[in-house]
Structure 1
Amino acid sequence: MDIRDIARLSGYSVGTVSRVLNDHPGVSDRARERVLAVVREVGYEPNTNARHLKTRSRASFAIMVKGMQNLLFNDIIEKAEGLFAEADEEVRVHFVDEDADEVARAVHLDRIRHPKGFLFLGGDPSNFREGFGQIEAPCVLLTNTAEDWGLKGLSSFSTDDVEAAGSVIDHLWECGHRRIGVLGGNRKVSEVSEHRLAGVVRAFESHGAHFDVDRWYEPCRFSMGAGYEAAMRLLERADDLTAIFAFGDVIALGALRAATDRGLRVPLDISLVGFDGVDVSQYSVPRLTTVRQDAGLLARRGVESLIAAARGEGAGAVHESVPFRLLRRESVLSLAPASATADVCAKGERS
């Protein structure tokens, strides 16, 4: 079995297969997934020559990014690359589609590139449970918690998504909002989305109310375009909403445009809250109220933990929750009497 057989079985050219096996850019996600599926089916492994063995000890770290348009991940990548450089370590960034199998891609890279370790940005728990045991290098997961996944050797650093989402609902509630729509994520493949939605539901219950998931929740990918389309669907279905909570700032920015196109003014006609606290959120009009995840701290804890594990200095898997802040800006309007909530909905920050 050689590369020509993989090309024949996958239906792609030898050149395309070669680029996939060597993890080169310029290959579509569809082609990459098909070639890797054939590689797994037949158990193909590229030949290891002397040159590869010589350079194996000098392998770089790998950052596996799930999703192409997550602005928070861009912030973490930039900070992580700087931290690896400070530690005199090389790093390569690999993007996989939001719906692709990031662990299968890492398994492939582990076999052909032998990186010192993997830093995952986002991840599907089902993919980890199915394929993580095939990865030999140390691994750290950021923005998801793997504490309950039952996987030895996988550390994780994340925001408490349940608590953070609950803080958004509490803030909107204090500002007089009761009909709150929610945008973002895919509960079938995203544990982060499930946790944030659970925080919404729990916060409603704490206020003695019921959150109507079927009517007030609209899933979507993490992109402005997807946020726009999802907001359009949500507002068409529930035109009596007074506020929208988006599970990502990038989704919220798309929703802001959707509201405008429907003739709604933010926040005069409908309030809007995002999640992540990326830099662009403070330059939208109006400035976006959002939950700020600490990208710098997430990157630092993840990189330090991964390098320590690769150097044999780690003390086993670590799972930590990184603090968040609710940034109260201009996109939320108070519907309650001014005397009761003027200070709550004003521009500012709350930990």
Structure 2
Amino acid sequence: MTIKDIARESGCAVGTVSRVLNNHPGVSEETRRAVLAVVARYGYRPNANAKHLKQQACEGLALIVKGAQNALFADLLDKLQPLLEARGYTPTVYYINEGSDELACAQRICAERRPYGIFFIGSHPHCFSPALAALELPCLLLTNNAAEAGIENLSSVSVDDRAAAAVMVEHLHQKGHRVIGLIGDRPELSRPSRRRLDGCLDAMGRLGLDFDFEKQYAFADFSMEGGYAAAEYLLAHCPGLTAMFAMSDLMALGAVRALRDHGLQVPQDMAVAGYDGIALGRYTVPRLTTIRQNTDLLAGRAAEIMLAAIEHPSPAVHETVAFELVEGESV
């Protein structure tokens, strides 16, 4: 009898059976009893050499992070890793750059380390294909919604970027702003930027605000440097501008610095709003008005969904968590 036979007899996943045999704490008592009953019935004895090799290779859980400088991702890792460790798993973080292939990275990790599951943080759903299912382990995309990908082992936890961006535009409108400049990555390449731009356009359409993409949308990567350059573009190309909405807090902080260097005060001469709700925005002068992504909730739900998928195999879950408009001093 093999571990796969025990999994079939007990109705559990191979990974769950392995955890029971290794006395891992992250298994329910009901599941543990079911597996041990099969073990006792057939007198199963694990191969000591194979078990040793498996323990050497296993890294617990893999966290693939796309972009090493993203403050939101750093906050998510700070919240997520202790949750996984508390359940007896060892999380290992792998940073990849924006141009890297996360699927190829996951395949390599599985071949070398055989984790129980993989988190993808900051990836775009279009980066995945049905080949991900061939890894035969739970995967979860964090900060982007993967429902449309339709991959059976890929769950996701995210904020509704489109609705959140619309709320910020409505807030700026309520404060009296009618010409609003947007700072974001290229929408055809960045899913968050695409969703946030769509939300802005939704709100502007409802409010009767005109929007000229060439004049009112400035391209930037998710950095302060990018936000600085984008703010200068908007100042040069968008007459009548009174507010800037940046699609990340780091972009917004770069924009604030650019405005100051041009002799403009925030919010007296120009309103600036951000997105993410990173801690840094609470300590700048002025404090940043932003859309806060609840990293405690994002990390908590991601951990729960992943561990449930490992311990009790089930279909993929796609969950949207609440966002919050935080009024600072920059609008």
TM-score norm. by structure 1 comes to: 0.77
**Mapped partners of 1:111, 1:309: distance in 2:** 20
Structure 2 counterpart of 1:287? 287
**Mapped partners of 1:273, 1:52: distance in 2:** 54
Q: Which runs of 5+ in 2 are unaligned?
A: 1-48
Going from structure 1 to structure 2, the CA distance change for 1:136 and 1:52 (only over 3 Å counts) comes to farther
Tell me, yes or no, if structure 1 residue 238 matches structure 2 residue 270.
no
Report the Cα offset of residue 134 of structure 1.
Answer: 4.4
Structure 2 counterpart of 1:99? 99
Q: What is the SS of the residue equivalent to 1:148?
A: helix
Q: State the aligned residue count.
A: 283
After superposition, residues 81-120 of structure 1 pair within 5 angstroms as 81-120=81-120
**Mapped partners of 2:132, 2:142: distance in 1:** 15
Going from structure 1 to structure 2, the CA distance change for 1:58 and 1:194 (only over 3 Å counts) comes to same
Q: What is the SS of the residue equivalent to 1:206?
A: helix
Larger Rg: 2
Structure 1 counterpart of 2:247? 247
* 130-139 vs 313-322, which moves further: 130-139
Report the Cα offset of residue 95 of structure 1.
Answer: 1.0
Letter in 1 for 2:99: D
Contact 1:110 1:137 (8 Å CA) reproduced = no
**Mapped partners of 2:172, 2:84: distance in 1:** 40
Q: Which runs of 5+ in 1 are unaligned?
A: 1-48, 333-351
Tell me, yes or no, if structure 1 residue 175 matches structure 2 residue 166.
no
Structure 2 counterpart of 1:310? 310
The one-character-per-residue Cα deviations of 1:39-81 (angstroms, maximum 9, x if unpaired) are xxxxxxxxxx979833267432011111122111111100001
The Cα RMSD (Å) is 1.9
Report the Cα offset of residue 287 of structure 1.
Answer: 0.4
**Mapped partners of 2:229, 2:134: distance in 1:** 38
* 218-227 vs 161-170, which moves further: 218-227
Report the Cα offset of residue 115 of structure 1.
Answer: 1.2
Structure 2 counterpart of 1:331? 330
* 165-174 vs 236-245, which moves further: 236-245
**Mapped partners of 1:58, 1:272: distance in 2:** 47
Contact 1:68 1:98 (8 Å CA) reproduced = no
Report the Cα offset of residue 189 of structure 1.
Answer: 2.3
Contact 1:305 1:314 (8 Å CA) reproduced = no
Letter in 1 for 2:76: I
**Mapped partners of 2:172, 2:184: distance in 1:** 18
After superposition, residues 1-351 of structure 1 pair within 5 angstroms as 53-55=53-55, 58-129=58-129, 131-311=131-311, 313-332=312-331
Report the Cα offset of residue 222 of structure 1.
Answer: 1.0
Going from structure 1 to structure 2, the CA distance change for 1:177 and 1:151 (only over 3 Å counts) comes to same
**Mapped partners of 2:272, 2:326: distance in 1:** 12
**Mapped partners of 2:313, 2:212: distance in 1:** 45
Q: Percent identity?
A: 42
Report the Cα offset of residue 216 of structure 1.
Answer: 0.7
Contact 2:64 2:120 (8 Å CA) reproduced = yes
Contact 1:228 1:251 (8 Å CA) reproduced = yes
TM-score norm. by structure 2 comes to: 0.81
Going from structure 1 to structure 2, the CA distance change for 1:69 and 1:130 (only over 3 Å counts) comes to farther
